[in-house]
Amino acid sequence: MRNLIKTFIVMLMLSSSHAAIADDLEDGIAAVEKGDFSTALRLLTPLAEQGDASAQLLLGSMYNEGKGVAQNYKTAFKWFKLAAEQGDLVGQSNLGFMYAEGEGVTQDYKIAVKWLLMAAEQGDADAQSNLGVMYRKGQGVAQDYKTAVKWYTLAAEQGNALGQFNLGLMNAEAKGVPKDYVKAHMWWSMVTTANGSENAMLYRDDLVKLMTPSQIAEAQEAASLCIKQNFKNCD
């Protein structure tokens, strides 16, 4: 699941179209940004109880990560569900993840897919990536590598590290796409560079043993081009 700061940033973007934001919500958001979670809890709780989806989302994140409160997945689930039911795509994405992992709720892959799909179709990159995982593993849906690749690609094009990493796996293992070590190396290189992922680096370095020098050079050039294109049209 995304971390609190990412949730906060996404939530701000979603709220930017509102004509006005309540003073307490603004102050609560500011408190979260400063790391003053006790103040955030005091300000956001009444708003969340009154039905404000942004406050519910932030409270869910705080309880999910134990920021200013004891970590409590059930309470996090409660707030994410309330936000999700109001159409909040981040709440929907997080709710789907919790159903998939069985955090704060009994694990249910079919319900997880339902919520992830809602958020994924609205463009949420984390939901798209996690939905790809469900299709790759056949959890809550029939296993379908091509559909998994579709969702991973949409996530990867937004710079989502998990989507990019998993596209590398699909290319390396010929699942849903033809085997292509150059593309696998390209995706794992970008994840390593952008996120410092040790896992992606290990996969890439193992793959190098199966590649020719010209393939490695091609992959490195493809990664540079893909970054310049903001991850679009990299296939």
pLDDT per residue, tens digit, the chain (235 aa), is 655 434 454 445 444 444 334 688 989 999 999 999 999 999 999 999 999 999 999 999 999 999 999 999 999 999 999 999 999 999 999 999 999 999 999 999 999 999 999 999 999 999 999 999 999 999 999 999 999 999 999 999 999 999 999 999 999 999 999 999 999 999 999 999 888 889 999 999 999 999 999 999 999 999 999 999 999 988 7
Buried b (16+ CB within 10 A) or exposed e, 173-209: eebbbeebbbbbbbbbbbbbeeeebeebeebbeebee
User: Which parts of the chain fold into alpha helices (H)?
Assistant: 4-15, 23-34, 37-49, 53-65, 73-84, 89-101, 109-121, 125-137, 145-156, 161-173, 181-195, 198-208, 213-228
For the entire predicted model, the pTM comes to 0.88
> What is the residue extent of each domain of the chain?
156-235
Full DSSP string of 91-111:
HHHHHHHHHHHTSSS---HHH
Phi, psi (degrees; rounded to nearest 5) at 179: -60, 130
* 85: Cβ contacts below 8 Å, ≥ 6 apart: 91
**How many angstroms separate the CA atoms of 33 and 146, rounded?**
40
Give the pair of three-digit tokens for residue 99.
């159903």
For 18, half-sphere exposure in the C-beta direction (CA atoms, 13 angstrom radius) is 13
Instruction: Supply the DSSP symbol for 235.
Output: -
